[in-house]
Amino acid sequence: MKTSTHIMGRRIAGALLIVGLLSGCAGLRPYPNTMGKNLHIQTETDSGSIFSKVRAAVDIFSVNADCTPEYQGTVKLKAPSIDVGISPNELSYMVFVFSNSSFLANSRSSISHETLLKTRAGYNYDIKVSYIDDIYDVSIEENHQGSSKSREIELRNLSTCQSL
Amino acid sequence: MKKLIAISILIPGLVSMLTGCGSMPLTADEFRKAAPKAMTGEVATFEVDRPFQAVAETFNKKAPACLNKTVTTTSSTPGKYGPVVSTYTVTYKPTVLLGREKVELHVQHHTDNALKVYEEPAGGYFLLVADAYPIEENKTRIDMYRPAIGHKTLIKAVEGWSTGKNVGCPDLTQ
């Protein structure tokens, strides 16, 4: 009995570990998204296989004066687009996460692409997010409201925070 | 994916065994010499209709952004006492050397807790080396020393950076 309990315990522990690892969402919470919408995020995903699926999401962090990111929440990126609001004139850190799950191999993996972004009041930002056949890309374009002027924003990692 | 992970871990050993040299390439130049002789390596040469400077800029911009990553993959298989979870952590290291007549892209990778039979160079075993040379004003030649098995996503990405037609990042977990 002790042995079967031990085995059962191991099975439950194993199952919980699997759920925890494979869910990949421990500690994640939805981003409140209550501010004025200044980000227009277009998303396109295609795993290239009927046996796997790709999901895209963005984790949004505020960034303190000492360049420490503070997690604000996660937005699931659904095609074709979603509007998100972040604080203008403040530094944000955005981590785009692509999660790939394969049904046949019973495996799940994720890869991320991150950038610092300081939005400006009076500007909108078009963000294109794609994951097609195992190649992903994130590009950001800044557009002045009421004019056709736009410029591409270079992606910056967190280590460049001090220089911004 | 498990197959790819296994290939990724085994490739250094296979390259070495098949080349019969008894050691792994410790430099990019050694890798260039070893890859064509190994069954698990190959050399691909192609030309792109793009100025050399543009290819150099793309390599220099995309390699650090896309390849300077540590990737952890987890998979599970049924076991006697429940699922067996396998986790692998691979750290990639890109290096771009810019010259007036040649640009080199080196990609190395290091797998945590992998059995290391051979000496591993700083930054990890060499996985891919791509050299770009100017041919004409609008033409650039690429010599790519690369694995013949697996890592197709990485190869596809570097080809895209060369042609400029698809400059996204490879999902290194695939």
Per DSSP, what are the bridge partners of residue B103?
A: B98, B132
Read off the pLDDT band of A28 (50, 70, 90). Answer: confident
Q: Kindly state whether A96 is in contact with chain B, defined as any CB-CB distance less than 8 angstroms.
A: no
Using an 8 Å Cβ cutoff, are A40 and A6 in contact?
no
DSSP per position, A21-64 = HHH--TT--B----S---EEEEEEEE-SSTTEEEEEEEEEEEE-
Distance CA B54, CA A60 (A): 33
Place of tokens 């430099």: B27
Distance CA B167, CA B58 (A): 8
What mean pLDDT do residues A18-25 have? 42
pLDDT in tens, B59-111: 999 999 999 999 887 777 778 888 888 888 999 999 999 999 999 999 999 99
Q: Which residues of B touch A (CB under 8 A)?
A: 1-2, 65-66, 69, 71, 73-77, 81-83, 85, 87, 153, 156-157, 160, 166-174
Picking from B69, B77, B85, the nearest residue to A21 by CB comes out as B85
ipTM of this model?
A: 0.81
> Which residues of chain A neighbour B74 with C-beta distances below 8 Å?
21-22, 107-109
Q: Kindly state the tokens that stand for A162.
A: 């001090």
Using an 8 Å Cβ cutoff, are A154 and A163 in contact?
no
> Which residues of chain B neighbour A45 with C-beta distances below 8 Å?
none
| Partner-chain contact A113 B73, CB within 8 Å | no
Dihedral sign of CA atoms B56, B62, B67, B69 in order: positive
Question: For residue A35, is pLDDT > 70?
Answer: yes
Distance CA B36, CA B46 (A): 16
CA dist list (Å): A64 to A23, A69, A70: 29, 6, 7
Q: What is the total residue count of chain B?
A: 174
- Structure confidence at residue B46 (pLDDT): 97
Higher pLDDT, A107 or A110: A110
Q: How far A57 CA lies from chain B's nearest CA (Å)?
A: 15
Using an 8 Å Cβ cutoff, are A89 and A118 in contact?
yes
Distance CA B140, CA B54 (A): 9
Distance CA A80, CA B50 (A): 32
Q: Kindly state whether A111 is in contact with chain B, defined as any CB-CB distance less than 8 angstroms.
A: yes
The overall average pLDDT reported for chain B is 86
The 3-state DSSP class for residue A157 equals coil
Q: What does pTM read for this prediction?
A: 0.81
